[in-house]
């Protein structure tokens, strides 16, 4: 999966796939029995965090730790915000475990533009809390790390093509796996605090009851794609509270906004621009929703809004 999804690349598809395959096989070949571990395998290259401190990839970042690592760049308006927002939820659920039992890192694939200051500004925009570090460095060092983590695509033609999965791993045990930004944050947390740990940690916070995906498609879509940034009736998160939004906006505007917010922002749709300015200039990501997805989501937002209003009216 990539940041800007393939649109005109059918032509390159076959070649890209071949290259990817070769890349994967090469990587496999270099994994000692698939258990990726140790300072011999991982480079100890220096990276710089958002505060300008130098951290060495092996010694300071992963050695002996359970980590979550993803690759992003601050000017990516597409899937990176989705991923960062998802990781923010993960950070919230992890609570005090961050920096103790689990270490979170985001590494830029655009180190020329993403200086420590740019990373710091990005963290502020996403309200990232302390303990999750953003890193930049030399392009060739970062590419090397990506190759070692099997997060480098040989067919990348632009920054947006970088892989958007997260790598979760335990350097000490050599277990590494990937999750996507579309996983529920609870799933990611369960891996980080369960499967990857060598000892059992305190019980997870009780979150399952409220966030289990509902049966309806609209609810399911909303829970997996939208809750990182929105609530219905519980106030603003990174994006606006969506209570009553269906009655407030024109249907056609809403459908289009859900399907291609990036295009509407680029076209300077006045309402889109006003919202964008109001919400920290954080662009709502294009999530490649189909027309039917948009309709399901609209129905869900409408039904939920009604329920929230009924509940509010009934409570003293």
Query: For binding to ligand HEC (CB under 6 A), which residues are involved?
Result: 81-82, 85, 221, 225-226, 228-230, 238-240, 242, 245, 249, 254, 257-258, 261, 275-276, 279, 282-285, 287, 297
Residue with tokens 């980590």: 67
Instruction: Count other C-beta atoms under 10 Å from residue 278's C-beta.
Output: 10
CB nearer to ligand HEC: give 76 or 150: 76
CB nearer to ligand HEC: give 42 or 126: 126
Measured distance CA(22)–CA(14) in Å, rounded: 12
Burial class from Cβ neighbours inside 10 Å (0-12, 13-18, 19+) for residue 63 reads middle
Q: How far is CA 208 from CA 65, 189, 211, 239, in A?
A: 26, 12, 5, 23
CB of 104 to ligand HEC, least distance (A): 17
CB nearer to ligand HEC: give 48 or 221: 221
CB of 217 to ligand HEC, least distance (A): 12
CB nearer to ligand HEC: give 77 or 169: 77
Measured distance CA(282)–CA(155) in Å, rounded: 29
CB of 303 to ligand HEC, least distance (A): 13
- Name, in order, each residue with C-beta under 8 angstroms of 86's C-beta and a sequence gap of 6 or more: 181, 183, 185, 188, 228
CB nearer to ligand HEC: give 169 or 285: 285
CB of 160 to ligand HEC, least distance (A): 16
CB of 211 to ligand HEC, least distance (A): 15
CB of 254 to ligand HEC, least distance (A): 6
CB nearer to ligand HEC: give 137 or 185: 185
Token pair of 40 as six digits? 């011999």
């Amino acid at each position: 999966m990539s940041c800007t999804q393939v649109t005109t690349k059918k032509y390159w598809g076959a070649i890209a796939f071949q290259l990817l395959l070769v890349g994967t096989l090469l990587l496999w070949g270099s994994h000692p029995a698939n258990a990726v571990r140790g300072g011999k395998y991982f480079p100890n290259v220096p990276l710089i965090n958002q505060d300008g401190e130098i951290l060495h990839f092996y010694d300071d970042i992963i050695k002996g730790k359970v980590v979550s690592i993803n690759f992003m760049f601050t000017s990516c308006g597409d899937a990176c915000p989705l991923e960062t927002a998802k990781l923010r939820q993960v950070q919230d659920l992890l609570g005090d475990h961050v920096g103790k039992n689990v270490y979170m890192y985001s590494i830029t694939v655009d180190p020329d533009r993403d200086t420590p200051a740019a990373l710091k500004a990005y963290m502020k925009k996403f309200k990232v809390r302390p303990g999750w570090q953003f890193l930049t460095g030399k392009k060739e060092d970062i590419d090397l790390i990506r190759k070692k983590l099997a997060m480098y695509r040989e067919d990348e033609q632009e920054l947006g093509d970088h892989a958007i999965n997260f790598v979760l791993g335990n350097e000490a045990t050599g277990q590494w796996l990937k999750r996507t930004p579309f996983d529920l944050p609870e799933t990611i947390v369960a891996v980080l605090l369960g499967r990857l740990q060598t000892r059992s940690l305190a019980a997870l916070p009780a979150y399952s009851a409220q966030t289990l995906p509902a049966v309806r498609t609209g609810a399911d879509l909303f829970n997996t794609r939208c809750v990182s940034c929105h609530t219905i009736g519980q106030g603003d998160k990174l994006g606006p509270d969506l209570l009553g939004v269906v009655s407030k906006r024109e249907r056609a505007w809403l459908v289009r906004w859900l399907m291609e917010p990036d295009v509407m922002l680029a076209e300077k749709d006045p309402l889109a621009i006003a919202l964008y300015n109001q919400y920290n200039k954080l662009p709502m990501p294009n999530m490649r929703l189909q027309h039917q997805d948009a309709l399901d989501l609209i129905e869900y937002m409408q039904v939920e809004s009604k329920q929230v209003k009924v509940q509010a009216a009934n409570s003293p």
